[in-house]
Amino acid sequence: MARYDRAITVFSPDGHLFQVEYALEAVRKGNAAVGVRGTDTVVLGVEKKSTPKLQDSRSVRKIVSLDTHIALACAGLKADARVLINRARIECQSHRLTVEDPVTVEYITRYIAGLQQKYTQSGGVRPFGLSTLIVGFDPYTGVPALYQTDPSGTFSAWKANATGRNSNSMREFLEKNYKETTGQETVKLAIRTLLEVVESGGKNIEIAVLSKEHGLRQLDEAEIDAIVAEIEAEKAAAEASKKAPSKDT
């Protein structure tokens, strides 16, 4: 087995590309990220590992915009992310130049996934070690969209998804609790999902909301803390109402 993981261009006898699978491992070790699609809003949330005291947290932006109507969050190797994001940003502008139209979310996702795939089929390079969550609005119809790509270069559309650390438990939570939401409810669902795997508190969560009118807006700590408090209150109320009937019996 070990002989088949040195060069990327080699298949193993049982059909695996080991480098791609190791890249997926790198993703699994990256920070947790979640994306939720609402009817008029899309939300991206990322776990923020504790920032060292002397670090300027503003320089560590984990949710970035690719264009005025498209945002991206990723899990995995951050340095690889920078390269991929720069190429995607160039492609967004290049598309605007050649056809005088903004990109659709599907187009830029296909481009990023295509780039990730190219690096699984070339000599002397390794795959990008990150999965991305891409959200945005269709420039004509205004329909919101959420896509995910991974190191193998596959992509698909989702109503809600998670990647990075503990993504399985987050996805399970989403499968149980997802429903079509609008505005603030979508934000709450994203935060509730992240809280399943992250210590609660505004300083451990980074949330960005993309809406058609206001573009990409990063929520600040105070706002996130307020919503977390709301969620905890709702949870406590639900617990209390669950206990109350049993008291009667």
Which residues of this protein are in contact with another protein, per CB under 8 A?
87, 90-91, 94-95, 97-101, 104, 106-107, 110, 118-119, 122, 124-125, 140
Find the shortest distance in angstroms from Cβ 124 to another protein.
6
**Phi, psi angles (nearest 5°) of residue 25:** -60, -40
> What's the rounded Cα separation, in Å, for the pair 20 and 13?
15
Find the shortest distance in angstroms from Cβ 36 to another protein.
24
Closer residue to another protein, CB minimum distance, 16 or 118: 118
> What's the rounded Cα separation, in Å, for the pair 69 and 55?
30
Find the shortest distance in angstroms from Cβ 52 to another protein.
32
CB contact set of 246 (below 8 Å; sequence gap of 6+): none
Closer residue to another protein, CB minimum distance, 99 or 240: 99
Closer residue to another protein, CB minimum distance, 14 or 100: 100
Find the shortest distance in angstroms from Cβ 67 to another protein.
15
Closer residue to another protein, CB minimum distance, 128 or 173: 128
Asked whether the beta carbons of 155 and 106 are under 8 A apart, the reply is no
Please spell the DSSP secondary structure of 189-216, one letter per residue: HHHHHHHTTS-SSGGGEEEEEEETTTEE
Task: Bin 90: left if φ > 0, else alpha if -120 < ψ < 50, else beta.
Answer: alpha
Closer residue to another protein, CB minimum distance, 139 or 183: 139
Find the shortest distance in angstroms from Cβ 111 to another protein.
10
Distance of CA 237 to the CA centre of its chain: 30
